[in-house]
Amino acid sequence: MRWLADECVAAPLVAFLRAHGHDVLYVAEAAAGLNDTDVIALALREKRLLLTEDKDFGDLVFRRERAVPGVVLMRIGSESPLLKTARLAAAIERYGEGLFGRYIVIEEGRFRSRRLWSER
């Protein structure tokens, strides 16, 4: 899968995705300091799922109606890196390519999923 990992995503999560064959463009490596609007534009242009820990993307996607191929929002504290990795792996296994076209929130005990508008 093609991912755009936001700058706030921890490097070990990016390394995990890459180790499992995913194509990951990491904002911290490629374009540090990019603002959220430009991150969304990059995800759309590159046709990549956006992996983030920043809740502000929900506002951009739903209230400001910014188009994006898909968003995966990690809502697990930084004190639990192994849990983050396990939950991300579980979400990929559960949704697969179905992550595209969705806004998925990954929490410790559940996933929340919302479809993005089809006109996008």
| Domain that residue 60 falls in | 2-115
Confidence band, pLDDT 50/70/90 cuts, at residue 46: very high
We report the CATH number of the domain holding residue 78 as 3.40.50
Other Cβ atoms closer than 10 A to 98? 12
Instruction: Specify if 41 maps to a domain.
Output: yes
- pLDDT for the residue numbered 119: 43
Is the sign of the CA dihedral 14, 40, 116, 45 positive or negative?
negative
Instruction: Specify if 68 maps to a domain.
Output: yes
Q: What are 14-44's pLDDT values in tens digits?
A: 999 999 999 999 999 998 889 999 999 999 9
Q: What are 62-116's pLDDT values in tens digits?
A: 999 899 999 999 999 888 899 999 999 999 999 999 999 999 999 999 999 999 9
- Give the three-state DSSP class for 91: helix
Q: How many domains does the chain fold into? A: 1
Instruction: Specify if 120 maps to a domain.
Output: no
Q: What are 108-119's pLDDT values in tens digits?
A: 999 999 999 754
* Helix ranges, 1-120 (H): 11-19, 27-30, 36-46, 56-58, 81-95
- pLDDT for the residue numbered 78: 86
Instruction: Specify if 111 maps to a domain.
Output: yes
Confidence band, pLDDT 50/70/90 cuts, at residue 4: very high
Determine the Cα–Cα distance for residues 4 and 51; give it in Å rounded to an integer: 6
